[in-house]
Amino acid sequence: MSNATRLRRRLVEHLLAEGVLHDARWMTAFRSVPRHVFLPRFFVPAPNGWAAIDNGDDEWLRRVYSPGVLVIQLDDDSGLWERARYLGAQPGTPTSSSSQPSIMAIMLEELRVADGHRVLEIGTGTGYNTALLCHRLGSGLVYTVDIDPELVGAARERLAEIGYAPSCAAADGAEGFPAGVLYDRVICTCSVSSIPPAWLEQTVPGGLIVTTLNRPIGGGLVRIVAGEGATGHGRVLARDGRFMPLRAHRFKQSKVPDDDVAWRPARLPMEVLTEVRSRFEFFAGLHLPGVTASREGQSTRLAHPDGSWMRHRQAGSAFEVAEGGPRRLWEIVEAAYEEWLGLGEPGRDRFGLSLDGEDQVIWLDSPDGRTWPLRP
């Protein structure tokens, strides 16, 4: 047994232990598809930015089959890997990656594919997820699109290397696949601020779309049942997943002043708002559309493009906040928290979506209940 085969089996054991993999056919796909073919090089975090790892390096293969995210591109610039390789670690923002295998397993199972289903994948990336789909369904039923031509070209070559030939296109994934085909399933391996109407139009009525919501606070995994035309309805899923956003759906980080500010006591820790495992996080995000969060030194910061901002810090065993701009963001958080408690502390799986073209809302418990616009 080769070292790669052994590591693939170990990865599947890890996914089983995490409770994210249950379907025997997807187990076989993860055991069979060689992830290392799709990750000949990547970045890893380093003290001064991102270091470049190549397939001849020690620990390369072990890292490939680790359970974490592997970044393959920074700042939409494929040339930065070479720079990091020869000049040392480089700063940058990840813009493409091979996602955590656990999130991939969750999404693939939530897609509920059956033999004969035609699947569209938005976000080809390395091609590894594409290969898992090809193994399960056959290349002829898999279509994949990515906005980056270099990524598509590299993925196509690596897929061919192991015997897969899905339909690949370099195009804007928000427009679906440029072929006039209807799909039984659509899976998006990047997050979106709203559901592109083209995806709904290209999915057969009753077909499923699985993607993640691009919300700076309170994102998460959703499954949508397509209706006629650009309509659909769905649920926010209890099993969570987070991805980099579709390029056109990225948020810009708003600025927070560094000047001396007036602090006041706060009763809530910041973790109730920013921790993915917090039951309040999703509800909080509905009240803070477009608000981004960042960490600076000992304080966490929230900011909105309208100029509203706040800073939160721990002071001994207590908490403090400072606020500014046209709105008091922490007052909005505190009011939302009281409302959330009054509603019975709803988790993400009590929320659903109703979609009609550009008219898209999130609702609590039923479409006739409390609603919020999906767009930030």
Show which residues are catalytic.
99
∠ CA 123-276-195, nearest 5°, is 35
Contacts 24+ apart (CB under 8 A), 326-330: 329/288, 329/291, 329/302, 329/304, 330/266, 330/302
360's CB contacts (< 8 A; 6+ apart) are 194, 195, 353, 354, 373, 374, 375
d(CA 122, CA 137): 17
* Sheet with strand 70-74: strands edge to edge: 49-54, 41-46, 70-74, 94-98
Contact 11, 30 (CB under 8 A): yes
How many angstroms separate the first and last alpha carbons of the chain?
Answer: 51
Give the chain's radius of gyration (CA, Å): 22
Question: What six digits make up the tokens of 290?
Answer: 């477009």
Lookup: tokens for 224: 């949508």
Do residues 175 and 198 lie in contact, with contact meaning Cβ atoms separated by under 8 Å? yes
What percentage of the chain's residues is helix, strand, coil (to nearest 5)?
30, 30, 40
Distance, CA of 189 to CA of 335 (rounded, Å): 34
Q: DSSP letters along 269-303, please?
A: -THHHH-TT-TTHHHHHHHSTT-EEEEETTEEEEE
